[in-house]
Chains A and B, each alone.
Chain A
């Protein structure tokens, strides 16, 4: 491939990658893929990729001027052209396959966790203090994991949002209200869930998003004590903008 053509494709791909990442950031879909704390890094990537594209566009223009002046033949070798086509792969996958956060279909390989350790920066005291209805699924599991004596949480009011997941270990009128937790990116996702007792559980659809309100209790699944909500209401809600929880 002639050098100038190589440079043109290179600049277009860099620009394309910058626009792709930028549009993901603008639409908020970036958090389908990575933890929100790394979003600024991606923004840096967007800017830097655009800068690289700009540098190459300038280089193409200057090379053309050089050629006009000297009319020397270009003895520079273009780098391997096939490198360029690989950069199309993430662009094509990103554009052709509709963006969808992980859901129950990922559970079969991603696995299900019933415990969530406290990050050393977390103060457990702070968690105890938060209003019980403000806690999300991750907070509840942290508390249950932190404290051997979970009975002190019994009777507290809970109000959590998650997607419905039916597990074989559960009874007929039960389901798990679940969220995926992401530390770094979707590669390390794992699901967390609280069991829910709800008479009309069978009417719910797998993967549908619900707001569960009720009082907290516990149930033992596979030898692990898991928080359980005796639901007073289970209400269908739209999927939250940030489908995952970030520890």
Chain B
């Protein structure tokens, strides 16, 4: 009898809460429910939009990560990458030209490269620069804005921010203070290394699948948050604040975080803001968005400890803000 008591108590509690909920919701008029249903539809459409858009890119990123795991060994890595902080940070920032990934795919790939012995400063500057400094994003930015100032400044400022943050992190000598311990990487390893190419590819695909689920989880949480924010907070109230050389940049930075769109396409979105926002504000949207948005921060938290993530958000934020405000004052 003793053991059944907590169960029946839970049951009573559940029924009580259920009854209260029914009473609570019956207080609302019917129009509330059609409103809620409409909101839910908008939420579903926006959420699936972000998710479906991101899935192929996440697949490509995790595939790159799987291939790195199987085909790249630690010795090769240390041969290619310098361990001097400045050279490593600069080299890391340009690695995006070799691994064309956006901000969803870059997180698993960076973690894998850290695992292969990539120095911290190189990994961090890769993490931040790759979503902008890669062929796909450069082409899409050029398609939206032309081969001109916006593209050059976007690449230049992103590089500056990425290398700066990379150097900041090079001060820390012990990676375990920065990185979370790796718990869930694929454990499909066999006792002997797989020999044939087909076997290696199979191995890479299994890692890809595991990592797709692991990172997909955070993509889904991030996309739900972003969709919820967009469903319930009017964008006009945000854009309404946006005047003045400082506030307009702040609005663009917040919008970059809330929209959570992939860096491969954000240039087309930014173009739409050029009508109502200055060059500097839109530029800050284009530099900050690929580094920090809701889904990427949630993914960062799986790879890095909390404090480093705070740095990863704060330094790009300050520098993008500074760049945007400077531009607003110099060429209003």
- Hey, which bits of chain A sit against chain B, CB under 8 A? 10, 13-14, 17, 21, 24, 30, 32-35, 38, 41-42, 44-45, 48-49, 51-52, 55-56, 58-59, 76-77, 79-80, 82-84, 86-87, 89-90, 93-94, 97-102, 105-106, 108-111, 113, 115-117, 119-121, 145, 181, 183-190, 247
Contact = CB atoms under 8 A, between A and B. Distances in A.
A80 to B, nearest CB: 5
A225 to B, nearest CB: 13
Given A76-B188, A120-B143, A21 B202 contact: no
A115 to B, nearest CB: 5
Interface in B44-71: 44-53, 55-57, 59, 63
B220 A48 contact: no
B272 A117 contact: yes
B42 interface: yes
25 contacts: A34-B49, A34-B53, A35-B265, A42-B52, A42-B56, A44-B59, A48-B56, A58-B202, A59-B206, A79-B213, A83-B184, A84-B213, A87-B213, A100-B45, A116-B272, A117-B274, A120-B143, A121-B143, A185-B53, A185-B261, A186-B49, A187-B50, A187-B53, A187-B226, A190-B235
Given A32-B45, A93-B47, A52 B53 contact: no
Interface string B105-147: 0000000000000000000000000000000000000011110
B210 A102 contact: no
Interface of B: 38-42, 44-53, 55-57, 59, 63, 143-146, 183-184, 186-188, 202, 205-206, 208-210, 212-214, 216-217, 220-221, 224, 226-227, 230-236, 239, 259-262, 265-266, 268-269, 271-272, 274-276
A183 B230 contact: no
A56 B209 contact: yes
Contact of A45 (B39, B46, B59, B220): B59
B56 A44 contact: yes
B299 to A, nearest CB: 13
B143 to A, nearest CB: 6
A184 B42 contact: no
Given A45-B59, A90-B51, A188 B217 contact: no
B42 A106 contact: yes
Given A115-B275, A117-B274, A102 B42 contact: yes
B145 to A, nearest CB: 6
Contact of B41 (A100, A113, A183): A100
Given A109-B235, A117-B275, A33 B59 contact: no
Contacts of B144: 119-120
B221 A187 contact: no
A111 B235 contact: yes
Contacts of A187: 46, 49-50, 53, 226-227, 230, 259-261
A81 to B, nearest CB: 10
A83 B217 contact: yes
Contact of B209 (A21, A52, A86, A119): A52
A46 to B, nearest CB: 9
B254 to A, nearest CB: 15
Contacts of B268: 119, 183-184, 247
Given A44-B56, A100-B41, A184-B269, A109 B231 contact: yes
Q: What's the dominant secondary structure at chain B's contact region?
A: helix
Given A119-B144, A183-B269, A187-B227, A94 B213 contact: no
Nearest 3 A-B pairs (CB), nearest first?
A: A186-B49, A185-B49, A183-B268
Contacts of A42: 52, 55-56
Contacts of B209: 10, 14, 52, 55-56
Contacts of A49: 59
A30 B56 CA distance: 14
A111 B184 contact: no
Given A17-B55, A80-B183, A89-B220, 10 more contacts: A59-B206, A76-B187, A76-B188, A79-B186, A83-B184, A117-B274, A184-B53, A185-B53, A186-B45, A190-B272
B271 A119 contact: yes
A51 B221 contact: no
Contacts of B49: 33-34, 185-187
B48 A113 contact: no
A120 B145 contact: yes
Contacts of B274: 117
Contact of B56 (A41, A51, A83, A119): A41
A66 to B, nearest CB: 9
B224 A89 contact: yes
B220 A90 contact: yes
